[in-house]
Structure 1
Amino acid sequence: MITPGEHLSFLDARLPGLVVGAHVYGSRVLDDVVADSDLDIVIELSSAAEVPSFEGADVAVVLAGSLEKPVFDVTPLAGEITPVLWQQLRTVGQTVRGARPTCPGTSADVEAYCRDNLVSYWQRLFEQVRTMPELPPEDILWIGLGPARLWHTIRTGEIVSKSRAGVLAAAHWPDLPLLDLVSVRRGSQLPLTDTHLKAAIELFDRILADVTT
């Protein structure tokens, strides 16, 4: 598992003097690092350049100064930027180089993004999932915990990790075996079965109903 320092050393050797800001978000700052967690990081460059890929790093690249603008006014040089990312950087992100960014935005922007993502991405994905007789465990974890994060953010405005979202959803819907998903994400060898796949589908249907009523 790579560290921010290792990634910056890699970039500095290939882009000397260009990396003026680096900000970590995701599992590293949400207390949810697991064995296969990527390093989620936003890199600021002093001028446009192609940032080489690094295995284990999920990188968004912007020009210096971009993190002082609303997300809708920024075109990234690489990767994806969203209102949710802006809020993480503004609230819980860890700056490892440069000045801490302001990342202006509103809770309404974040909620609107989450609601749209539930439909534009997740609802379409679940239309495919419903036709599949089985899925590998890592995919069951993805579809079981991902929508729960959006559900919690829509309801509260808070951005939480996948594991925390699973715990919160399990408390809200205790009849679903969602804590099994959290346990497996954290390293348990518990087998995920068709029961868990059906629970993930049922959870999504309940989330969609809950946030649209």
Structure 2
Amino acid sequence: MAGIGLLVFGGIVLLRYPNKPGGKIAIGSLEVSSVGAGLPLIVLGVACILAYARTDLPDLRLPATSTEASTSTSISSCFDRYLSELPADRQTTLEVGASDRNVLSSTQTKTTPIALLFNENRNRLGAMVFNVFPTDDLFRIDTIIDANCQPIEQFSNASRGGDKNILQNWDTLQMTLNNSSYTLRLGYSEGEVEVNAFKNFTP
């Protein structure tokens, strides 16, 4: 309303009082000057109308996030949910090719689950949650998920066969993630849980 009022008033001044002293209006690099007072008032009115229109019109721009970014956020969220009950100090990220990694220190409890997150070239391949039973020298796998947080069943104890969810100390787990095979060798020594090697599997 203020903009329309200034526009009308400026028009009246411009037509009826052309010799009324004018002035100068500068907005950034844009500058308008006039001998008469009407033209600057009209310019000011137009500026008010445009400013109101920019704040009142709905934002028709496309979302700032791309499909790829949205997918990445979705994947991150599903892993966050998968690991929501595990504290950060019981989660370890492994890049393909990693070896001799300590994933649980001797001072940390062995009575709650441990998580491994698998990456290849920093891209998430999947994750695994498992438990260690030191007195029996074995590991029990709870779940393994792929990059889409879907449970996988394509894994086995490559060292001895049998129950695929159970690994004896230093056994090798073989699993298929995103149509590729990987091996993971877990061990327990002097109170520490270690990953001896995580790598691509080539028969």
Fold agreement, TM-score > 0.5: no
Higher fraction of strand = 2
Task: Report the TM-score, using the length of structure 2 for normalisation.
Answer: 0.24
Structure having the higher helix fraction is 1
